[in-house]
Chain A
Amino acid sequence: MSAPSSAPLPAPSHSQNTSGIATSGIAFILKKAVISAFVALVLFSLMIGVRTEAGPEGHLIYWTRFGELAAIVAIVFGGSIIIELLRQWIGPSGAGRLVPPWLQDAADLIGRWLAPALLVFAILIPVIFYDQRYILDLSILVLTYVMLGWGLNVVVGLAGLLDLGYVAFYAVGAYSYALLATNFGLSFWICLPLAGILAAFWGVLLGFPVLRLRGDYLAIVTLAFGEIIRLVLINWQDLTGGPNGITGIPRPTFFGIPLSNDDDGLAAKLGIEFSPTHRVVFLFYLILALALLTNWVTIRLRRLPIGRAWEALREDEVACRALGINITTTKLTAFATGAMFGGFAGAFFATRQGFISPESFTFHESALVLAIVVLGGMGSQLGVVLAAIAMIGGFELFRGLDQYRMLVFGFAMVLLMIWRPRGLVGHRAPTVFLEKNQAISSDLVKEGHG
């Protein structure tokens, strides 16, 4: 550590690391690495060096794992040297931001064609991968998260309200459909709008009390709200079946025609041979349509006064109020709209799975969707798609290492925030502009208090 007493300046923007660059040298790097390794040794001495487990007679036994401990300390030592070398090689932070113009142009060109290309590819997926059930299922999963991401994007990305309980609306949608369908025998196409309306209603219900809250407080309250919904779902056994969930949720129909092997099934009516893949393909196009609907509605809303009010609210709430924008309706519509799409996605989830339980609606899910929105750059529709592909795809890669998945996810989230706090597509294109649409670099935009 460098001497902390040397002339403290106002608001030193970086840690002591940057001050160390001036004194770069092998001795400095080694010293840092030794300190890091020592910290790691102390941190992991008990947590990794000793492993506890309940023994055969019920009481705890332990055994030591000094090999692993040594390996991790060595990794930290080596990693610290590499990071420090990289840092000195890249230079002071900020120098790497200057992108050459040709690269900028190329990126613009790709950016313009990426969205249509992705859309065409998405439409063609069932044609290309018709025989590969795994890819179809994975695409459905990705699209579900794309839809959730777009829904949450309305709340977080456009209106700037940090919602950590988004999964609550997903749960409301799923349980609405499951309960309405199993108890009253309503069809999917009647339940879908109902699920959306109910979720929107819950969104308003949550929105009312949190109108005055901002930033971190809002985040915690929405988190608590999400947990309350989950706990009620677990404990209200008469209605929701408790931890066992709801089984036998009806599969969706093609506007009333079941996708089954019966005589009145769709396959029989069209005169083609029945295949279970039909339903998967149908589900795929269903979620694609729902997701595109979300996207289209969001894009349209952004051009309406309400969408502009959302964006203004994100940038500065006080200025908004001073300009006479009704904060109450602006926030409530953002919550309701986001919640409605969450509800749609929930209903789709229920009909796809055929079984739901409170386990599917934990905080992890909220955090995952939020991570997708943040990684996507908060407010960027295309960014959400890319982030959803990266996240869900990444999760699939780590499928074998189930335990390590969330660990990697956590590291990714922290590193991402440090490296690019504004996400992958980190700029905010304003919807309203004078003469020329100029993207504002995210570094220049100061956050409001949302």
Chain B
Amino acid sequence: MDYFAQQLINGLVLGSIYGLIAIGYTMVYGIVGMINFAHGDIFMIGGFIALISFLVLVSFGLTAVPLILLIVLLVAMAITALYGWTVERIAYRPLRHSFRLAPMLSAIGMSFILTNFSQVAQGARVKPVPPIITGGYTLHEGASGFNVQLSNIQIIVVATTVVLLALFTWLVSRTRLGRDMRACEQDQTMAALLGVDVDRTISFTFVIGAALAAVAGMMYLLYYGLVDFFMGFVAGIKAFTAAVLGGIGSLPGAMLGGLLIGLIETFWSAYFSVEYKDVAAFSILIVVLIFLPTGLLGRPEVEKV
């Protein structure tokens, strides 16, 4: 039972990270109708920028950990958001009215560019960081010596996710920008006729998605203590799975899907086999798409001729 509780905690933390990435996929899919294949790599870039800015700040002599974390978070979000904007501007916008496969292939190309750019720029080796946030609480002391732990870092990951989600939900449901986004999602031409700047709205979608992915990247860095240039690929597919599982286009669905994928992966590793955890995640993607193509919270897609 203790073991189960511990896995539950771990799964929820991992799921929060996936959920943050999944929101980027689901938003872009909802508005532009394409899979932003490079989104996983945006997440990886976010992790790298968090790492580098952290190193630089520490070497400047900053010691207050909360201040460092806040600055790192803001820097990573800002720069990664610019990456998201640039990717959309270079690789997707010229293809918006092209035929259907073109943006997908361009996105794959972009994914290669980002992966190999960070490999060339920062080297191929895994970058480890010492644990920045230590300590935690023992929730329950097990009889057999197995304690259920809740570390501070796990609290921070979940808390950051919750705060960002609240902020994000407010943005989508209450602000002008959010209204524009929802309008573009329903009908771009009509939205444009009514005075919504479609190009700018789509750019903002990418910017927000990238900023959330940067947070996910930073949380990943804090939680696992390492980044490498290839981590975006698998994390990206899993987050996409989460978006599909929750129903693509649905924001609460993305978060729910993220949590579910995190839980499934953690429990699979804990009770079955660690080697096949990625296989489990990918299989879920296939199974969901076959039996539940609209996901848990998604709307059925109406086919227009």
Interface, chain A (partner B; CB < 8 A): 4-5, 8-16, 39, 42-48, 50-54, 58-60, 62, 162, 164, 209-210, 212-213, 215-217, 219-221, 223-225, 227-228, 231-232, 234-235, 318-319, 363-364, 367, 370-371, 374, 403-404, 406-407, 409-414, 416-418, 421-422, 446-447, 449
Contacts and interface: CB of A to CB of B under 8 A. Distances in A.
Nearest to A227: B282
Nearest to B93: A15
- Number of contact residues on B: which range applies? 35 or more
Nearest to B114: A410
Interface string B280-296: 00110110011001000
Interface in B64-103: 75, 79, 82-83, 86, 89-91, 93-95, 97-103
A414 B192 contact: no
Contact of B105 (A8, A48, A221, A370): A370
21 contacts: A11-B189, A14-B94, A15-B93, A42-B82, A48-B121, A51-B122, A60-B127, A62-B59, A209-B289, A209-B290, A403-B119, A404-B116, A406-B112, A406-B115, A406-B116, A407-B113, A410-B112, A416-B109, A418-B95, A418-B106, A421-B99
B159 interface: no
A212 B293 contact: yes
A319 B305 CA distance: 9
A363 B234 CA distance: 11
Contacts of A59: 128-130
A335 to B, nearest CB: 14
Contacts of B34: 216
B120 A407 contact: yes
Nearest to B118: A47
B2 interface: no
A319 to B, nearest CB: 8
Contacts of B116: 403-404, 406-407, 410
B113 A221 contact: no
Interface of B: 29, 34-35, 45, 48-49, 51-53, 55-56, 59, 75, 79, 82-83, 86, 89-91, 93-95, 97-106, 108-123, 125-130, 188-189, 192-193, 195-200, 233, 237, 240-241, 244, 275-276, 278-279, 282-283, 285-286, 289-290, 293, 303, 305
B201 to A, nearest CB: 10
Given A221-B289, A407-B113, A409-B112, 5 more contacts: A46-B52, A216-B34, A371-B105, A410-B110, A417-B95
B237 A224 contact: yes
Contact of A51 (B35, B75, B121, B241): B121
A213 B49 CA distance: 37
A225 B286 contact: yes
B37 to A, nearest CB: 9
A421 B102 contact: yes
A414 B293 CA distance: 29
A36 B89 CA distance: 11
A413 B83 contact: no
Given A47-B121, A414-B91, A12 B198 contact: yes
